[in-house]
């Protein structure tokens, strides 16, 4: 009985609805929150109270270093906590959307998370030049782009990505079909086995791709490394970001902030706006400024 009252600390390694799986020194415990709260994210360090041999209640969430989430007009969805790097996976095929990539980059800047792009499927040679052309603007903004072929060159893919993950808590995101799962399987030994175990523990049956999960990577020099795999999604709402957060989350705006005639300039249609002048001069991509305007509009629609 004493084991049931001993406070425990664990890391949330999977989430499905209001059900969570925590890793407590290698032991997996099924967890729920008290009441109807669902403010727990994969990657959270949590304080638990055991309720049975393999179950516990989440009593408290430890302070987070970072929190990545997306939101629409009505609610927000937590993606991951305590991560230091985010990898956006795009590919030569199928086509990826610039809107999702740019929104993910904005989310990273707002959350203080380092962002990288991975261009997968280099072996689709005829589509490679166009894909490189499309990721070039992000590289020009300072975001690293790593080229791999997860199925065509698996060993080189691991050699490229493994050093980037070492010592970091990372998350992979991307649209379905970009090859994210293929990369996870290369980087995480026995990933498929882990997915089945997590799925069984969360009672998600065959819906193994609908939940976010965290894996511990075999690290060198004793460094702790984790990687979070998220379900593929097509949209990345940022309704929770305020005007001030948004203007600072576009890295190319930074040299011009404070240079506008009006101190409360929104950089939309105001006269003598340094940001708009930079757009007109080609120093800021019009596509990115249009996204900024769209995000400002969305942030004004929030209902929660």
- CA gap 239, 299 in Å, rounded: 4
Concatenate the DSSP letters of all residues of 108-146 into one string.
Answer: HHHHT-EEEEEEE-TT-GGGHHHHHHHHHHHHHTT--EE
Residues counted in the chain: 304
Asked if residue 287 belongs to a known ligand binding site, the reply is no
Q: How far apart are the C-alpha atoms of 147 and 131, rounded to whole Å?
A: 11
- Written as six digits, the tokens of 26 are 């290698």
260 labelled binding-site residue? yes
* Torsions phi, psi for 254 (to 5 deg): -55, -40
| Residue 170 assigned to a binding site | no
179 annotated among ligand-binding-site residues: yes
The annotation status of 181 as a binding-site residue, yes or no, is: yes
Establish whether 121 is an annotated binding residue: yes
Q: Is 49 annotated as a binding residue?
A: no
User: Does 254 show up as a binding residue in the annotation?
Assistant: no
Both ends of the chain: CA-CA distance in Å?
42
> Does 230 count as an annotated binding residue?
no
Q: Is 169 annotated as a binding residue?
A: no
CA distance 168 to 164: 8
Per the annotation, does 122 bind a ligand?
yes
> Does the annotation list 267 as a binding residue?
yes
Three-state SS string over 213-251 comes to EEEEECCCCCCCEEEEECCCCCCCCECCCCHHHHHHHCH
82 marked as part of a ligand binding site: no
Binding region:
120-123, 174-182, 260, 265, 267, 273
Binding region for GTP:
120-123, 174-182
Binding region for Zn(2+):
260, 265, 267, 273
């Amino acid at each position: 009985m004493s084991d049931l009252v001993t406070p425990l600390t664990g890391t949330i390694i999977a989430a499905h609805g209001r059900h969570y799986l925590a890793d407590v020194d290698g032991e997996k415990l099924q967890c729920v929150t008290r009441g109807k709260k669902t403010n727990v994210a994969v990657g959270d360090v949590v304080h638990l109270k055991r309720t049975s041999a393999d179950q516990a209640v989440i009593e408290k969430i430890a302070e987070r270093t970072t929190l990545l989430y997306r939101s629409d007009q009505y609610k927000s969805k937590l993606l991951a906590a305590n991560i230091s790097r985010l990898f956006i996976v795009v590919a030569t095929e199928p086509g990826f959307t610039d809107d999702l990539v740019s929104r993910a980059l904005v989310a990273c800047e707002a959350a203080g998370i380092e962002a990288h792009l991975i261009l997968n499927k280099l072996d689709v040679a005829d589509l490679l030049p166009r894909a490189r052309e499309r990721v070039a603007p992000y590289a020009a903004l300072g975001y690293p782009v790593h080229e791999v072929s997860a199925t065509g060159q698996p060993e080189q893919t691991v050699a490229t990505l493994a050093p980037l993950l070492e010592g970091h808590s990372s998350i992979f995101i991307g649209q379905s079909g970009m090859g994210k799962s293929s990369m996870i399987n290369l980087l995480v030994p026995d990933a498929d086995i882990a997915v089945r175990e997590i799925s069984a523990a969360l009672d998600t049956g065959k819906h193994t791709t609908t939940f976010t999960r965290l894996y511990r990577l075999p690290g060198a020099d004793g460094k702790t490394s984790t990687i979070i795999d998220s379900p593929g999604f097509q949209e990345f709402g940022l309704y929770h970001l305020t005007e001030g957060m948004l203007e600072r989350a576009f890295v190319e705006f930074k040299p011009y902030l404070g240079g506008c005639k009006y101190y409360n300039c929104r950089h939309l249609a105001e006269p003598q706006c340094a940001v708009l002048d930079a757009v007109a001069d080609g120093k800021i991509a019009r596509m990115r400024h249009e996204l900024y305007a769209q995000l400002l509009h969305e942030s004004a629609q929030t209902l929660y």
